[in-house]
Chains A and B, each alone.
Chain A
Amino acid sequence: MMKLYREKDKLWLLIWLGGLLLLWGWNLLFLNKPAQAKVQSGLLNTFFISSLVIVFSAMLGWISGVGSYFLEKATSKIPYLTVTFFLNIIRSVPQIVGILVGYIIITVMIQDGSLSSTFYIMIIIAFVISLFVFIEISDLVRERITYFRRRDFYNAMLVCGIPEWQIVNREILWKNSVAHIFNKLIAVFGITVFLLCSIDFIVSVGLSTSVSAVNLPVTLGSLLAKIDSKQDILAIGYFITHPGYFPKLFFEHLQGITVAFLIVFTLLCIYKISNGFARRNEL
């Protein structure tokens, strides 16, 4: 028990999974079946897209980080400057704005019939989000390479005839930086849940007239934007002035409360898991 308390990442992972399980059980008892099905698919879609973002971001971050390192060493500086220039532009675009532009493109593609499968839509959404979050991984990769390049073993390995790409990819990143990258990917999962829910909420609230005709996958954000969920959330404010209303939140307003709780609880737990992991591995 004490060991688990000290390993905060494992503790919070257990709390997160336990919380989700408990909530699922509660909903099974008190939430109507159609709403329950919606919440389940919203949760699964959100986690599926977020997991895809992790995969895409890891790939893009690794490739761009290593690629820009080797381009910097090349004799011609033009490719390096071009790549850095575009990476800096992506960095300067607030993530939500970039993703919103991506959503407009996805909506246009759905409306003109070039995109119809929900599965592919989710993959493209994940890719769009990855484009605006992978920079963190790319920066970390560059940071790790710069850090290890100053160490003696780097030059020693070069002298031994080991190719530089092998030193960078295998010795530095794979053998000595996996924990760092994994920790960053946990944080990416959290930021993706936040961005995805926010963008889906915005699109469903503000652009509902233009996207309701197209089939964007249900996520926690779009579920929260539904009028019945919003009514449920409004009930929280009502409870502050009418404390006796508190128990009703868990029975009569379960859909909205569940969705809001899932978003906030997941963000909180991911933050704690990431911090715990960093502390345990002394990152």
Chain B
Amino acid sequence: MQSKRNEHLLSILVVTAVFIGMIINFGVDSRQAVDARNTALQQYLPPAGSVDFRDPQQRALLKETLDIYFPENQGNNEALVLEIQRYLAGETAASISSKTPGSALDGSKLLEIFGMLLSFILVYVLVMGITYYGVQTLAIFRFTRMKQERESYLAELWTYLQALRNKEKKVAINPLKIFVYLGKACAKGLLYFILFSPAYVIAYSFKTRFDTDSFFFMVLLGVISNGLLITYAQKFFTFLVGESRKGYVETAVVKNLHNDYSTNEKSGIPLKNIFALRKAFPGHVFEHIYINAHQQYLAAIKEQASFLISGLVIIEMALNIQGHLCYELMQNILYRRFDVVLVIVLGIFLVVKATEIFTDSWIARDARRYANEEGAEA
């Protein structure tokens, strides 16, 4: 564990040093670049009051005029109109507040970013906690269904219809049953679609219905969207299946541990144990399958954390949630304040690194506990 920790600390040191160097460099460069660009832009500014840049029609008119005079470079004409618009918006914003996205990287700006980073971490920790629970619960639920030899709802409906066609004695025609199967299949399909939807698709679908900028909605989106939950639930399920095929499971069954996977039997796996926060299945062989699969899942948590952060960045950026870390990142990319951009990226990098260190310690602790490895390497 010690060597892992040293490796993490070394990479934190190196990356932080490189970023600080770049931040200082970009701080000077971007201020000079912005000044130079603004000076160059002054000559293109139309006389005050001649064009209202808040009016899209007047902007379009100016662009078309430029296209008539300079038809060979229409892309640049559009860029020029946008640059002027951005410049004037910046001027207006600067006159209202000193804390515009383009403001300098000073103590107050750093403090502002730090506050946003803390809020980002809070969302991240919450979503991570919920998905940690959700991934295991979903995977265990699926695993028990597999052990019960249950098939998909459509397959069950097909089997039922086949039985009806073959006129099996025990099967009676029940139209309600057909609707229930179809309803369950549709609900499952819809759930799959939601779980695989990128956050922005879900968020824009409900933008006019809910307050999509709320803290709660961000956490909810982080959990259910971008395929995070379903992907890692599948991973955990694979670990469970892999473990259940190992020899020790047979030995445990021979030694009289329960091996029944029904959810309504005492010797089975009750639903309340599956949905419990702290999962335990005493006296059942699944207890050991779960513990071993959980150890493998711990290694995947680092990957899950990185993917989750990607998801949160997408949510904040795509929804333009003002006052959030990634909205600030986006604004500063737009205003070409690369020093602020680097500070935010460094913050996100440190969050990932902290997760990696925490996970490696957890893996090492578990290895000492279960594999009896003193000072085990993660």
Contact = CB atoms under 8 A, between A and B. Distances in A.
Interface of A: 5, 85, 88-89, 91-97, 100-101, 104, 111, 194-195, 197-198, 201-202, 205-207, 209-210, 212-215, 224, 230, 233-234, 236-238, 240-241, 260, 263-264, 267-268, 271, 275, 278
Given A5-B155, A94-B352, A104-B333, A205 B196 contact: no
Contact of B85 (A209, A268, A271): A209
Given A264-B193, A275-B234, A212 B78 contact: yes
B243 interface: no
B175 interface: no
B137 interface: no
A277 B302 CA distance: 25
B10 A85 contact: yes
B231 interface: yes
Contacts of A91: 302, 306
A229 to B, nearest CB: 9
Interface in B208-231: 208-209, 226-227, 230-231
Contacts of A93: 306, 349, 352
B196 A101 contact: no
Nearest to A204: B318
Nearest to B350: A92
B180 interface: no
Given A95-B307, A96-B313, 14 more contacts: A85-B14, A91-B302, A92-B352, A194-B198, A198-B198, A198-B200, A198-B318, A209-B85, A224-B200, A224-B201, A230-B204, A234-B208, A263-B201, A264-B198
B293 interface: no
B11 A89 contact: yes
B310 A96 contact: yes
A224 B314 CA distance: 14
A213 B208 contact: no
B82 A92 contact: no
Interface of B: 7, 10-11, 14-15, 75-76, 78-79, 82, 85-86, 155, 192-193, 196-198, 200-201, 204-209, 226-227, 230-231, 234, 238, 302, 306-307, 309-310, 313-314, 317-318, 320, 330, 333-334, 345, 348-349, 352-353, 356
A-B pairs, 10 with minimum CB distance: A213-B79, A96-B310, A236-B205, A94-B309, A206-B330, A233-B204, A202-B317, A94-B310, A267-B196, A268-B196
